[in-house]
Structure 1
Amino acid sequence: MTKNIMSKEEYLNKAKELNVPLEKPKVLNDTDFITVAKERRSVRQYDTEYVMTEEEIREILEIAIQAPSSSNLQPWRFLVIQDKQTQQELLPIANNQQQIVDASAVIAVLADIEGYKNAERIYGELVNKGIMKNEIKEPYVASILHNYGNFSAEKALSVAMIDGGLVSMQIMLAAKAKGYDTVPMGGFDEAKFVDAFNVPENFKPVMLISLGKGTKAGFEKVRLPLDTILTWNKF
Protein backbone atom coordinates (compact mmCIF):
# COMPACT_ATOMS: atom_id res chain seq x y z
CA MET A 1 0.00 0.00 0.00
CA THR A 2 1.43 3.35 -1.06
CA LYS A 3 1.70 5.90 1.71
CA ASN A 4 0.81 9.51 0.88
CA ILE A 5 3.79 11.83 1.09
CA MET A 6 3.15 15.26 2.58
CA SER A 7 4.56 18.19 0.64
CA LYS A 8 6.47 20.96 2.40
CA GLU A 9 3.53 23.32 1.95
CA GLU A 10 1.12 20.76 3.41
CA TYR A 11 3.46 20.19 6.35
CA LEU A 12 3.67 23.90 7.09
CA ASN A 13 -0.11 24.26 6.89
CA LYS A 14 -0.65 21.25 9.17
CA ALA A 15 1.91 22.56 11.65
CA LYS A 16 0.09 25.88 11.70
CA GLU A 17 -3.24 24.14 12.35
CA LEU A 18 -1.77 22.14 15.22
CA ASN A 19 0.13 25.15 16.64
CA VAL A 20 3.42 23.30 16.25
CA PRO A 21 6.20 25.81 17.01
CA LEU A 22 8.44 26.44 14.04
CA GLU A 23 11.72 28.23 14.55
CA LYS A 24 12.35 31.60 12.95
CA PRO A 25 15.16 32.03 10.42
CA LYS A 26 18.48 32.39 12.18
CA VAL A 27 19.88 35.89 12.49
CA LEU A 28 23.53 35.68 11.53
CA ASN A 29 26.06 37.40 13.76
CA ASP A 30 28.82 36.40 11.35
CA THR A 31 28.36 36.74 7.60
CA ASP A 32 31.54 35.06 6.40
CA PHE A 33 30.93 32.88 3.35
CA ILE A 34 31.03 29.51 5.10
CA THR A 35 28.47 30.60 7.71
CA VAL A 36 26.15 32.08 5.08
CA ALA A 37 26.38 28.97 2.89
CA LYS A 38 25.65 26.66 5.82
CA GLU A 39 22.79 28.71 7.25
CA ARG A 40 20.93 29.57 4.03
CA ARG A 41 17.63 27.69 3.82
CA SER A 42 14.66 27.70 1.50
CA VAL A 43 12.10 29.80 3.39
CA ARG A 44 8.42 29.72 2.43
CA GLN A 45 6.82 31.89 5.10
CA TYR A 46 7.41 35.64 5.10
CA ASP A 47 6.45 38.78 6.97
CA THR A 48 3.74 40.14 4.69
CA GLU A 49 4.08 43.64 6.17
CA TYR A 50 7.81 43.95 5.57
CA VAL A 51 8.72 46.18 2.64
CA MET A 52 12.19 46.03 1.11
CA THR A 53 13.42 49.19 -0.54
CA GLU A 54 14.56 49.30 -4.14
CA GLU A 55 18.02 50.19 -2.85
CA GLU A 56 18.18 47.01 -0.74
CA ILE A 57 17.16 44.82 -3.66
CA ARG A 58 19.60 46.54 -5.99
CA GLU A 59 22.41 46.01 -3.46
CA ILE A 60 21.72 42.26 -3.40
CA LEU A 61 21.65 42.10 -7.20
CA GLU A 62 24.86 44.14 -7.46
CA ILE A 63 26.58 41.50 -5.35
CA ALA A 64 24.94 38.67 -7.29
CA ILE A 65 26.16 39.84 -10.69
CA GLN A 66 29.75 39.34 -9.56
CA ALA A 67 29.08 35.68 -10.43
CA PRO A 68 31.13 34.10 -13.23
CA SER A 69 29.66 33.47 -16.67
CA SER A 70 30.69 31.89 -19.95
CA SER A 71 33.18 34.24 -21.65
CA ASN A 72 32.08 36.87 -19.11
CA LEU A 73 28.99 37.57 -21.24
CA GLN A 74 26.69 37.88 -18.20
CA PRO A 75 23.50 36.69 -19.96
CA TRP A 76 21.35 36.96 -16.83
CA ARG A 77 18.42 39.36 -16.76
CA PHE A 78 16.13 40.15 -13.82
CA LEU A 79 12.48 41.03 -13.57
CA VAL A 80 11.78 42.23 -10.01
CA ILE A 81 8.11 41.87 -9.11
CA GLN A 82 7.41 43.99 -6.05
CA ASP A 83 3.98 45.43 -6.75
CA LYS A 84 1.43 43.46 -4.71
CA GLN A 85 -1.20 43.39 -7.44
CA THR A 86 1.36 42.06 -9.90
CA GLN A 87 2.40 39.41 -7.38
CA GLN A 88 -1.26 38.37 -7.19
CA GLU A 89 -1.26 38.00 -10.97
CA LEU A 90 1.79 35.78 -10.72
CA LEU A 91 0.30 33.59 -7.97
CA PRO A 92 -1.79 31.21 -10.14
CA ILE A 93 1.00 31.03 -12.73
CA ALA A 94 3.32 29.85 -9.95
CA ASN A 95 1.00 27.07 -8.79
CA ASN A 96 -0.46 29.22 -6.00
CA GLN A 97 2.68 29.06 -3.88
CA GLN A 98 1.88 31.44 -1.04
CA GLN A 99 5.38 32.89 -0.82
CA ILE A 100 4.76 34.53 -4.19
CA VAL A 101 2.47 37.08 -2.54
CA ASP A 102 3.81 37.01 1.03
CA ALA A 103 7.43 37.86 0.22
CA SER A 104 8.57 41.44 -0.23
CA ALA A 105 9.51 40.71 -3.83
CA VAL A 106 9.86 37.97 -6.40
CA ILE A 107 12.89 38.00 -8.65
CA ALA A 108 12.39 36.30 -12.00
CA VAL A 109 15.83 35.21 -13.22
CA LEU A 110 15.96 35.07 -17.00
CA ALA A 111 18.65 33.86 -19.40
CA ASP A 112 19.32 35.95 -22.50
CA ILE A 113 20.27 33.56 -25.31
CA GLU A 114 21.47 36.58 -27.29
CA GLY A 115 23.65 37.87 -24.47
CA TYR A 116 26.74 37.31 -26.59
CA LYS A 117 25.78 40.40 -28.59
CA ASN A 118 27.06 42.47 -25.64
CA ALA A 119 30.62 41.24 -26.19
CA GLU A 120 31.78 44.51 -27.77
CA ARG A 121 30.37 46.55 -24.89
CA ILE A 122 31.86 44.29 -22.21
CA TYR A 123 35.32 43.90 -23.70
CA GLY A 124 35.38 47.49 -24.92
CA GLU A 125 35.09 48.53 -21.29
CA LEU A 126 38.11 46.37 -20.45
CA VAL A 127 40.04 48.28 -23.09
CA ASN A 128 38.84 51.62 -21.71
CA LYS A 129 40.08 50.62 -18.26
CA GLY A 130 43.46 49.60 -19.62
CA ILE A 131 42.92 45.94 -18.66
CA MET A 132 43.00 44.61 -22.23
CA LYS A 133 44.75 45.81 -25.36
CA ASN A 134 42.48 46.68 -28.27
CA GLU A 135 44.47 44.44 -30.62
CA ILE A 136 43.61 41.52 -28.34
CA LYS A 137 40.01 42.58 -27.84
CA GLU A 138 39.11 42.88 -31.52
CA PRO A 139 39.80 39.26 -32.59
CA TYR A 140 38.46 37.91 -29.29
CA VAL A 141 35.13 39.70 -29.69
CA ALA A 142 34.95 38.57 -33.32
CA SER A 143 35.51 34.99 -32.17
CA ILE A 144 32.73 35.27 -29.55
CA LEU A 145 30.26 36.68 -32.06
CA HIS A 146 31.07 33.93 -34.53
CA ASN A 147 31.07 31.00 -32.11
CA TYR A 148 28.13 31.95 -29.91
CA GLY A 149 26.20 33.22 -32.90
CA ASN A 150 26.44 29.78 -34.49
CA PHE A 151 25.39 27.77 -31.45
CA SER A 152 22.39 25.52 -31.92
CA ALA A 153 19.27 26.64 -30.07
CA GLU A 154 19.84 23.85 -27.54
CA LYS A 155 23.48 24.79 -26.93
CA ALA A 156 22.68 28.51 -26.61
CA LEU A 157 19.96 27.76 -24.06
CA SER A 158 22.17 25.36 -22.09
CA VAL A 159 25.01 27.88 -21.76
CA ALA A 160 22.69 30.72 -20.74
CA MET A 161 20.79 28.54 -18.24
CA ILE A 162 24.02 27.45 -16.54
CA ASP A 163 24.99 31.08 -16.09
CA GLY A 164 21.47 31.84 -14.86
CA GLY A 165 21.87 29.15 -12.22
CA LEU A 166 25.18 30.61 -11.07
CA VAL A 167 23.75 34.09 -10.57
CA SER A 168 20.64 32.67 -8.89
CA MET A 169 22.70 30.97 -6.19
CA GLN A 170 24.62 34.18 -5.73
CA ILE A 171 21.35 36.09 -5.21
CA MET A 172 20.31 33.71 -2.45
CA LEU A 173 23.66 33.84 -0.67
CA ALA A 174 23.84 37.64 -0.93
CA ALA A 175 20.31 37.91 0.45
CA LYS A 176 21.17 35.71 3.44
CA ALA A 177 24.30 37.74 4.14
CA LYS A 178 22.14 40.88 4.15
CA GLY A 179 19.64 39.39 6.61
CA TYR A 180 16.96 38.29 4.13
CA ASP A 181 15.53 34.94 3.15
CA THR A 182 14.77 33.33 -0.18
CA VAL A 183 13.34 30.26 -1.85
CA PRO A 184 14.05 29.24 -5.47
CA MET A 185 11.06 28.04 -7.47
CA GLY A 186 10.94 26.10 -10.70
CA GLY A 187 7.29 25.19 -10.24
CA PHE A 188 5.58 27.68 -12.51
CA ASP A 189 4.02 27.70 -15.96
CA GLU A 190 6.79 29.17 -18.10
CA ALA A 191 4.60 29.77 -21.15
CA LYS A 192 1.97 31.62 -19.13
CA PHE A 193 4.66 33.61 -17.33
CA VAL A 194 6.27 34.69 -20.60
CA ASP A 195 2.89 35.72 -21.99
CA ALA A 196 1.58 37.51 -18.88
CA PHE A 197 4.78 39.46 -18.25
CA ASN A 198 5.64 40.28 -21.88
CA VAL A 199 9.01 38.54 -21.63
CA PRO A 200 11.12 39.14 -24.76
CA GLU A 201 11.53 36.08 -26.98
CA ASN A 202 15.27 35.81 -26.35
CA PHE A 203 14.81 35.81 -22.54
CA LYS A 204 14.24 32.30 -21.16
CA PRO A 205 12.97 31.76 -17.58
CA VAL A 206 15.50 30.16 -15.25
CA MET A 207 13.63 30.34 -11.94
CA LEU A 208 11.62 32.54 -9.61
CA ILE A 209 13.12 33.57 -6.26
CA SER A 210 10.98 34.88 -3.41
CA LEU A 211 12.83 37.45 -1.33
CA GLY A 212 11.95 38.98 2.02
CA LYS A 213 11.97 38.66 5.81
CA GLY A 214 11.23 35.08 6.74
CA THR A 215 8.99 34.34 9.72
CA LYS A 216 9.58 30.58 9.84
CA ALA A 217 12.84 28.85 9.10
CA GLY A 218 13.12 26.43 6.24
CA PHE A 219 13.74 22.78 6.90
CA GLU A 220 17.00 21.76 8.54
CA LYS A 221 19.36 20.67 5.79
CA VAL A 222 19.83 16.98 5.15
CA ARG A 223 22.48 16.16 2.59
CA LEU A 224 23.77 12.91 1.15
CA PRO A 225 27.15 11.97 2.65
CA LEU A 226 29.92 13.42 0.52
CA ASP A 227 31.46 10.00 -0.13
CA THR A 228 28.24 8.82 -1.81
CA ILE A 229 28.46 11.56 -4.46
CA LEU A 230 32.23 11.98 -4.80
CA THR A 231 34.51 10.17 -7.25
CA TRP A 232 38.18 10.94 -7.83
CA ASN A 233 39.76 11.10 -11.28
CA LYS A 234 37.57 8.61 -13.25
CA PHE A 235 34.41 6.59 -12.87
Structure 2
Amino acid sequence: MSNLESIVQQRKAVRVYDPNFTIPKEEIANLLSLASRAPSANNLQPWRVIVIQNKELQKELRAIGNNQAQIEESSAVIAILGDIEAHKNVERIFNQNVEEGYVSQEIANLSIERTLSYYPTMPLETRKQSSAYDAGAFAMQFMLLAKERGYDTVTMGGFDKVKFAKRFELPENVFPITLIALGKALAPAFGTSRLPIESFTTFYE
Protein backbone atom coordinates (compact mmCIF):
# COMPACT_ATOMS: atom_id res chain seq x y z
CA MET A 1 0.00 0.00 0.00
CA SER A 2 1.36 3.43 -0.94
CA ASN A 3 1.80 6.19 1.61
CA LEU A 4 -1.05 8.16 0.01
CA GLU A 5 -3.40 5.18 0.18
CA SER A 6 -2.55 4.76 3.85
CA ILE A 7 -3.23 8.43 4.58
CA VAL A 8 -6.57 8.32 2.77
CA GLN A 9 -7.62 5.32 4.87
CA GLN A 10 -6.34 6.81 8.14
CA ARG A 11 -7.98 10.20 7.77
CA LYS A 12 -11.22 10.28 9.75
CA ALA A 13 -13.52 12.94 11.19
CA VAL A 14 -12.11 13.61 14.66
CA ARG A 15 -14.38 15.51 17.05
CA VAL A 16 -12.48 15.31 20.35
CA TYR A 17 -9.24 17.32 20.47
CA ASP A 18 -6.46 17.98 22.93
CA PRO A 19 -7.07 21.63 23.93
CA ASN A 20 -3.46 21.98 25.10
CA PHE A 21 -1.90 20.95 21.80
CA THR A 22 -0.66 23.83 19.65
CA ILE A 23 0.30 23.83 15.99
CA PRO A 24 2.67 26.68 15.05
CA LYS A 25 1.36 29.33 12.68
CA GLU A 26 4.25 28.59 10.31
CA GLU A 27 3.22 24.94 10.07
CA ILE A 28 -0.36 25.85 9.19
CA ALA A 29 0.87 28.38 6.63
CA ASN A 30 3.01 25.70 4.99
CA LEU A 31 0.06 23.29 4.83
CA LEU A 32 -2.09 25.99 3.23
CA SER A 33 0.62 26.75 0.69
CA LEU A 34 0.83 23.09 -0.32
CA ALA A 35 -2.96 22.75 -0.38
CA SER A 36 -3.12 25.65 -2.82
CA ARG A 37 -1.66 23.32 -5.44
CA ALA A 38 -5.20 21.95 -5.76
CA PRO A 39 -6.81 22.30 -9.20
CA SER A 40 -9.26 25.07 -9.98
CA ALA A 41 -11.19 26.26 -13.03
CA ASN A 42 -8.91 28.42 -15.20
CA ASN A 43 -6.43 28.29 -12.29
CA LEU A 44 -8.37 31.15 -10.65
CA GLN A 45 -7.84 29.70 -7.16
CA PRO A 46 -11.15 31.05 -5.78
CA TRP A 47 -10.60 29.80 -2.23
CA ARG A 48 -10.12 32.28 0.58
CA VAL A 49 -9.04 31.23 4.09
CA ILE A 50 -9.35 32.55 7.62
CA VAL A 51 -7.20 30.82 10.27
CA ILE A 52 -8.54 31.18 13.81
CA GLN A 53 -6.08 30.29 16.58
CA ASN A 54 -7.18 32.82 19.18
CA LYS A 55 -8.93 30.85 21.94
CA GLU A 56 -11.36 33.63 22.84
CA LEU A 57 -12.36 33.92 19.20
CA GLN A 58 -12.70 30.13 18.93
CA LYS A 59 -15.03 30.23 21.92
CA GLU A 60 -17.08 32.95 20.23
CA LEU A 61 -17.13 30.97 17.00
CA ARG A 62 -18.40 27.89 18.87
CA ALA A 63 -21.65 29.75 19.53
CA ILE A 64 -21.98 30.41 15.79
CA GLY A 65 -21.15 26.77 15.04
CA ASN A 66 -24.00 25.02 16.84
CA ASN A 67 -21.93 24.63 20.01
CA GLN A 68 -19.60 22.05 18.46
CA ALA A 69 -16.86 21.48 21.05
CA GLN A 70 -14.13 20.85 18.49
CA ILE A 71 -14.35 24.48 17.36
CA GLU A 72 -13.09 25.63 20.73
CA GLU A 73 -10.84 22.69 21.68
CA SER A 74 -8.89 22.17 18.44
CA SER A 75 -5.56 23.87 17.82
CA ALA A 76 -7.07 26.01 15.08
CA VAL A 77 -10.17 26.44 12.97
CA ILE A 78 -9.60 26.86 9.25
CA ALA A 79 -12.51 28.66 7.61
CA ILE A 80 -12.75 27.86 3.91
CA LEU A 81 -14.42 30.58 1.86
CA GLY A 82 -15.24 31.08 -1.80
CA ASP A 83 -14.79 34.18 -3.94
CA ILE A 84 -17.30 34.74 -6.74
CA GLU A 85 -15.06 37.46 -8.16
CA ALA A 86 -11.89 35.37 -8.33
CA HIS A 87 -11.65 36.16 -12.05
CA LYS A 88 -10.50 39.65 -11.11
CA ASN A 89 -7.16 38.10 -10.14
CA VAL A 90 -6.62 36.57 -13.56
CA GLU A 91 -4.01 39.12 -14.69
CA ARG A 92 -1.96 38.65 -11.54
CA ILE A 93 -2.16 34.85 -11.84
CA PHE A 94 -1.25 34.57 -15.51
CA ASN A 95 1.44 37.23 -15.39
CA GLN A 96 2.99 35.24 -12.54
CA ASN A 97 2.76 32.16 -14.78
CA VAL A 98 4.80 34.07 -17.34
CA GLU A 99 7.36 35.21 -14.75
CA GLU A 100 7.83 31.65 -13.54
CA GLY A 101 8.26 30.36 -17.08
CA TYR A 102 5.11 28.25 -17.38
CA VAL A 103 3.52 30.04 -20.35
CA SER A 104 4.39 32.70 -22.90
CA GLN A 105 3.06 36.24 -22.56
CA GLU A 106 0.99 35.64 -25.70
CA ILE A 107 -0.81 32.67 -24.18
CA ALA A 108 -1.24 34.54 -20.90
CA ASN A 109 -2.78 37.53 -22.65
CA LEU A 110 -5.21 35.28 -24.50
CA SER A 111 -6.22 33.52 -21.29
CA ILE A 112 -6.70 36.83 -19.51
CA GLU A 113 -8.85 38.20 -22.33
CA ARG A 114 -11.05 35.10 -22.47
CA THR A 115 -11.52 34.99 -18.70
CA LEU A 116 -12.44 38.66 -18.37
CA SER A 117 -14.91 38.41 -21.23
CA TYR A 118 -16.54 35.16 -20.04
CA TYR A 119 -16.71 35.12 -16.25
CA PRO A 120 -18.57 38.41 -15.69
CA THR A 121 -21.39 37.11 -17.91
CA MET A 122 -21.83 33.91 -15.94
CA PRO A 123 -24.85 33.72 -13.60
CA LEU A 124 -23.98 34.49 -10.00
CA GLU A 125 -25.08 31.05 -8.82
CA THR A 126 -22.87 29.36 -11.41
CA ARG A 127 -19.83 31.29 -10.21
CA LYS A 128 -20.71 30.46 -6.62
CA GLN A 129 -21.00 26.75 -7.37
CA SER A 130 -17.71 26.77 -9.25
CA SER A 131 -15.95 28.53 -6.37
CA ALA A 132 -17.40 26.08 -3.84
CA TYR A 133 -16.34 23.11 -5.96
CA ASP A 134 -12.75 24.34 -6.26
CA ALA A 135 -12.58 25.30 -2.59
CA GLY A 136 -13.70 21.76 -1.75
CA ALA A 137 -10.68 20.37 -3.61
CA PHE A 138 -8.45 22.76 -1.67
CA ALA A 139 -10.03 21.69 1.64
CA MET A 140 -9.60 17.98 0.92
CA GLN A 141 -5.98 18.46 -0.07
CA PHE A 142 -5.37 20.41 3.13
CA MET A 143 -6.84 17.63 5.29
CA LEU A 144 -4.78 14.91 3.64
CA LEU A 145 -1.59 16.94 4.03
CA ALA A 146 -2.46 17.56 7.68
CA LYS A 147 -2.99 13.84 8.25
CA GLU A 148 0.36 13.06 6.63
CA ARG A 149 1.99 15.24 9.31
CA GLY A 150 0.15 13.55 12.14
CA TYR A 151 -2.64 16.06 12.65
CA ASP A 152 -6.37 15.41 12.74
CA THR A 153 -9.27 17.26 11.14
CA VAL A 154 -13.01 17.39 10.75
CA THR A 155 -15.10 19.49 8.39
CA MET A 156 -18.15 21.33 9.68
CA GLY A 157 -20.85 22.70 7.40
CA GLY A 158 -23.29 23.11 10.27
CA PHE A 159 -22.71 26.70 11.30
CA ASP A 160 -24.57 29.97 10.86
CA LYS A 161 -23.03 31.29 7.69
CA VAL A 162 -24.85 34.63 7.87
CA LYS A 163 -23.55 35.29 11.38
CA PHE A 164 -20.07 34.12 10.38
CA ALA A 165 -19.98 36.49 7.41
CA LYS A 166 -21.10 39.36 9.62
CA ARG A 167 -18.65 38.58 12.46
CA PHE A 168 -15.65 38.42 10.12
CA GLU A 169 -16.88 41.28 7.93
CA LEU A 170 -16.70 39.31 4.70
CA PRO A 171 -17.07 41.38 1.54
CA GLU A 172 -20.15 40.64 -0.59
CA ASN A 173 -18.15 38.60 -3.10
CA VAL A 174 -16.80 36.19 -0.44
CA PHE A 175 -18.99 33.53 1.17
CA PRO A 176 -18.30 30.87 3.85
CA ILE A 177 -18.29 27.22 2.77
CA THR A 178 -16.97 25.05 5.60
CA LEU A 179 -14.95 25.09 8.79
CA ILE A 180 -12.11 22.64 9.43
CA ALA A 181 -11.03 21.88 12.99
CA LEU A 182 -7.29 21.11 13.06
CA GLY A 183 -5.37 19.59 15.94
CA LYS A 184 -4.44 16.41 17.78
CA ALA A 185 -7.08 13.82 18.62
CA LEU A 186 -7.78 13.22 22.29
CA ALA A 187 -10.14 10.34 21.47
CA PRO A 188 -10.24 8.15 18.37
CA ALA A 189 -12.71 8.89 15.62
CA PHE A 190 -15.61 6.58 14.92
CA GLY A 191 -15.13 4.28 11.96
CA THR A 192 -17.51 4.72 9.04
CA SER A 193 -18.55 2.42 6.23
CA ARG A 194 -18.48 3.18 2.51
CA LEU A 195 -20.92 1.99 -0.11
CA PRO A 196 -19.47 -0.30 -2.82
CA ILE A 197 -18.52 1.47 -6.02
CA GLU A 198 -21.25 -0.45 -7.84
CA SER A 199 -23.80 1.68 -6.02
CA PHE A 200 -22.49 4.96 -7.46
CA THR A 201 -20.50 4.08 -10.59
CA THR A 202 -21.44 3.23 -14.17
CA PHE A 203 -18.77 1.85 -16.50
CA TYR A 204 -19.02 2.10 -20.30
CA GLU A 205 -16.55 -0.38 -21.74
Instruction: Please confirm whether the aligned pair reaches a TM-score higher than 0.5, indicating the same fold.
Output: yes
Are residue 177 (structure 1) and residue 166 (structure 2) matched?
A: no
Give the 5 Å matches for 1:74-113: 74-113=45-84
The two structures, once aligned, show a CA RMSD in angstroms of 1.4
Aligned partner of 1:170: which letter?
A: Q
Moved over 3 A (4+): none
User: Displacement, 1:31?
Assistant: 8.1
* Secondary structure of the structure 1 residue equivalent to 2:181: strand
Counterpart contact for 1:36–1:177, Cα < 8 Å: yes
Q: Distance in 2 between matches of 1:218 and 1:106?
A: 18
Aligned counterpart for 1:212 among listed residues 173, 183, 186: 183
User: Displacement, 1:130?
Assistant: 2.5
Aligned counterpart for 1:41 among listed residues 8, 12, 33: 12
Structure 1 residues 1-37: Cα deviation after superposition (integer angstroms, max 9, x where no partner): xxxxxxxxxxxxxxxxxxxxxxxxxxxxx98211101
Structure 1 residues 19-60: Cα deviation after superposition (integer angstroms, max 9, x where no partner): xxxxxxxxxxx9821110111000000000011110111121
Structure 2 unmatched runs, 5+? none
* Secondary structure of the structure 2 residue equivalent to 1:172: helix
Aligned counterpart for 2:131 among listed residues 134, 143, 160: 160
Counterpart contact for 1:43–1:218, Cα < 8 Å: yes
Counterpart contact for 1:67–1:167, Cα < 8 Å: yes
Q: Distance in 2 between matches of 1:198 and 1:187?
A: 19
Give the 5 Å matches for 1:192-231: 192-231=163-202
Give the share of equivalent positions with the same residue, in percent: 43
Structure 1 unmatched runs, 5+? 1-29
The alignment of Structure 1 onto Structure 2 pairs a total of residues equal to 205
Q: Distance in 1 between matches of 2:68 and 2:16?
A: 10
Q: Which residue of 2 aligns with 1:14?
A: none
Aligned partner of 2:135: which letter?
A: G
Q: Distance in 2 between matches of 1:139 and 1:64?
A: 27
With the length of structure 2 as denominator, give the TM-score of the two structures: 0.96
With the length of structure 1 as denominator, give the TM-score of the two structures: 0.84
Q: Distance in 2 between matches of 1:75 and 1:122?
A: 11
User: Displacement, 1:221?
Assistant: 2.6
